[in-house]
Amino acid sequence: MDDGLQSRIRGDAAGLPTRVALGAMVTPAHYALERERIFRRAWLPIAHTHDVPQRGSYHVYEVPTFKTSLLIIRGNDDRIRVFHNACRHRGNKIVRAGSGCKANFMCNFHGWVFSPEGDLRVVTDEHQFEDIDKSQLGLVPVTSEIWENLIFVNFDETPRTTLAEWLGEWHGQYGDYFQRHEKVVSYQVVLNCNWHLAVNSFTEGYHTLYLHKDTARDYQGGAGNRERHRPSIELFERHHRYSAPGNPDHLEAPGEALAGRYGKKLLPSFDFDMTGLPPGVNSMRYGKWAFDVAEIFPNLVMLMGNHWHNEIRFWPLDEGRTLVLNQGYAYRARKPSERISRAYYRMRNRDIFREDLNTLEVQQEVLASGALKEVVLSRQEMALRHHYKVTADMLAQA
């Protein structure tokens, strides 16, 4: 029975696949091609501008998909640069791990020194080298650009697009939305599943009826939309986003009611006042809006609500393992009571997130066994269908 509202769809939904041969996609050969044609050519999120807050700040980020270590530094000119974390002498890591702030970066093997802008300043016992030109031996840069407060890199030798071109019309639609929030939680997990399965678990919402029945049973949909049809779906060249329908009749648990009294309503009850939202968030201004789900292809999913957002990054390790990193942000708390209130939602969010991972390893086992020739996708899974179309498009490009 179709008792729900019809999704307003923007973009080209015609021709999206309804069947995907996923079993053939979780193989080593297929993944090797995806790594070169998708991950090497895409813009990939690695860190935030607030990870390097002042001149000389650095942050090490390991990219497991390419087995490479990156060193992000804010220079004395305030520009943020990304380098391979590799000493030009004999390849020691300049910084082993973590974040901090330094005037100079000295390698702990033989003492070569690099500036925060990546220039080679000091070569130990320089006259013992027969043919050295320090101006040619700075840290090796990685192509990087910034969108809002997110730092992206591109591993292609000559990137085919700028980050602005990659993001398309999203680029200017979020205003200061992300900067309004501060980080409240960050954790990661390695799952024994292919990266597609992990991404897909966060980009459709009707599984909340079943998978989240014990945590967030009635927070979406409600009377007139029992099956939780999305009020709006937008499909772009590479990315997509949709709004999730909040349930105005959601029954608050006692702890949740208390949290809502001392702080802003986050999840699973929602603040339906949309004053001040930028155009990209709930872009069709659905009245009973819960939050948006946005996939920046290939490996970033953002959940964006009123006063909070989550960023989930997915890094494939191989065809059957994925590192999932979840970072939660919320409005800036001014009082201890608001911090405590946010903690309720932080715990609730973690419970729901863990449930979202629940099916992934068994799905991987089944698909890798070859038991199914293909999986079957409905209109509720429009975002997945779009994801697989973009995947096929990128794989088809030589």
- The interface partner of residue 356, options being Fe ion, ligand FES, none and the CB cut-off 5 to 8 Å by kind, is Fe ion
Contact partner, 66, from ligand FES, Fe ion, none, Cβ < 5-8 Å per class: none
Contact characters 31-70, ligand FES, x per CB under 6 A = ----------------------------------------
DSSP state string for 300-337: EEEEEESSEEEEEEEEEEETTEEEEEEEEEEEPP-SHH
CA quadruple 379, 380, 386, 391: dihedral sign:
negative
- Of 391, 320, 238, 364, which Cα lies nearest the Cα of 29? 320
Q: Which one of Fe ion, ligand FES, none interacts with residue 107, CB within 5 to 8 A by kind?
A: ligand FES
d(C-alpha 99, C-alpha 198), whole Å: 28
| Burial of residue 100 (number of CB atoms within 10 Å: 0-12, 13-18, 19+) | exposed
Figure out which of the listed residues 46, 107, 244, 375 binds ligand FES, where binding follows CB under 6 A: 107
Shortest approach of Fe ion to residue 207 CB, angstroms?
Answer: 6
**If binding is defined by CB under 6 A, does position 87 make contact with ligand FES?**
yes
Residue 110's binding partner out of Fe ion, ligand FES, none, with CB under 5 to 8 Å set by partner kind: ligand FES
Nearest CB to ligand FES, comparing residues 126 and 169: 126
According to CB under 5 A, which residues from 341 to 370 bind Fe ion? 356
User: According to CB under 6 A, which one of 83, 112, 166, 315 is a site residue for ligand FES?
Assistant: 112
Rg (CA), the chain: 23
Q: Identify which of residues 69 and 243 has a Cβ nearer to ligand FES in the complex.
A: 69
354 binds, options ligand FES, Fe ion, none, Cβ within 5 to 8 A by partner type: none
DSSP-assigned beta bridge partners for residue 68? 63
Among 37, 84, 89, 346, binds ligand FES (CB under 6 A): 89
Exactly one of 79, 96, 110, 285 binds ligand FES (CB under 6 A); that residue is: 110
CB 67, CB 78: distance < 8 Å = no
User: Taking CB under 5 A as the rule, does residue 381 contact Fe ion?
Assistant: no
Total chain residues near ligand FES (CB under 6 A): 9
Select 79 or 110, whichever has its Cβ closest to ligand FES. 110
The listed partner (Fe ion, ligand FES, none) that binds 244, CB under 5 to 8 Å by sort, is none
Q: Which of 133, 140, 76 is nearest to 104 (CA)?
A: 76
Decide whether 319 or 356 has the Cβ nearer to Fe ion.
356
Is the backbone of residue 91 left (phi > 0), alpha (psi -120 to 50) or beta? left
Q: How far does the chain reach from its first CA to its final CA, in angstroms?
A: 44
The answer to the question of residue 204 lying near Fe ion (CB under 5 A) is no
| 54 backbone dihedrals φ, ψ, rounded to 5° | -135, 170
Query: How many angstroms separate the CA atoms of 379 and 211, rounded?
Result: 19
* Residues paired with 292 in a beta bridge: 243, 304
Calpha distance 268→77 (Å, rounded) = 44
Residue 345 interacts with, from ligand FES, Fe ion, none (CB under 5-8 Å by kind): none
Of 21, 35, 109, 374, the one binding ligand FES (CB under 6 A) is 109
Q: Which of 19, 50, 79, 90 binds ligand FES (CB under 6 A)?
A: 90
On whether the CB atoms of residues 112 and 88 are closer than 8 A, the answer is yes
- Site residues (vs Fe ion, CB under 5 A): 356
- Site residues (vs ligand FES, CB under 6 A): 87, 89-90, 92, 107, 109-112
